[in-house]
């Protein structure tokens, strides 16, 4: 592990961050629409250190394409009682070049929600950062669980 520790928080390397993004089944896309933040949970796929999502027309697509966005995933490891969070900040663009469309169509990115999702959005990261931390009170919760 290449994490750098700062107190009870370990800052993750870019490689560790990408590994965790790949392992997560759901992420959240944060966009700004009409000068207001909005956030959308969705499934994703990591493709050559970019994040690809599939969506239909609407607020999510309009707020993402051609704009700076944030994409976040997080998780929890019950064995270690540690949580983690990774945030990617980057620029979202529509997948439109023929070779890129053909490549993207082959990714195992299947929408979870019914309805037409004909648009692919690629997030090119500007930054990726992550951290891992022990859940506060995890030792106490473990003792209470064992004492039952």
DSSP helix, strand, coil percent of the chain (3-state; round to 5) = 25, 45, 30
Instruction: Provide the 10 A C-beta neighbour count for residue 60.
Output: 22
Residue pLDDT, tens place only, 50-98: 999 999 999 999 999 999 999 999 999 889 899 999 999 999 999 988 8
Question: If DSSP codes are grouped into helix, strand and coil, which group holds residue 84?
Answer: strand
Q: What domains can be seen in the chain, in order of their start residue?
A: 4-147 (2.30.110.10)
The model's pTM is 0.84
């Amino acid at each position: 592990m290449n994490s750098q520790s700062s107190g009870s928080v370990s800052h993750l390397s870019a490689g560790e961050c990408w590994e965790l993004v790949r392992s997560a089944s759901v992420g959240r896309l944060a966009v700004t629409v009409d000068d207001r933040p909005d956030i959308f949970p969705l499934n994703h796929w990591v493709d050559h250190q970019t994040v690809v999502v599939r969506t239909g027309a609407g607020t999510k697509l309009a707020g993402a394409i051609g704009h700076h966005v944030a994409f976040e995933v997080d998780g929890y490891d019950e064995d270690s009682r540690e949580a983690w969070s990774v945030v990617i900040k980057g620029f979202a663009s529509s997948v439109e070049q023929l070779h890129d469309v053909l490549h993207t169509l082959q990714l195992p990115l299947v929408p979870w929600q019914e309805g037409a999702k004909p648009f692919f959005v690629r997030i090119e990261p500007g930054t990726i950062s992550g951290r891992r931390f022990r859940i506060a009170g995890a030792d106490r919760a473990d003792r209470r669980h064992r004492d039952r």
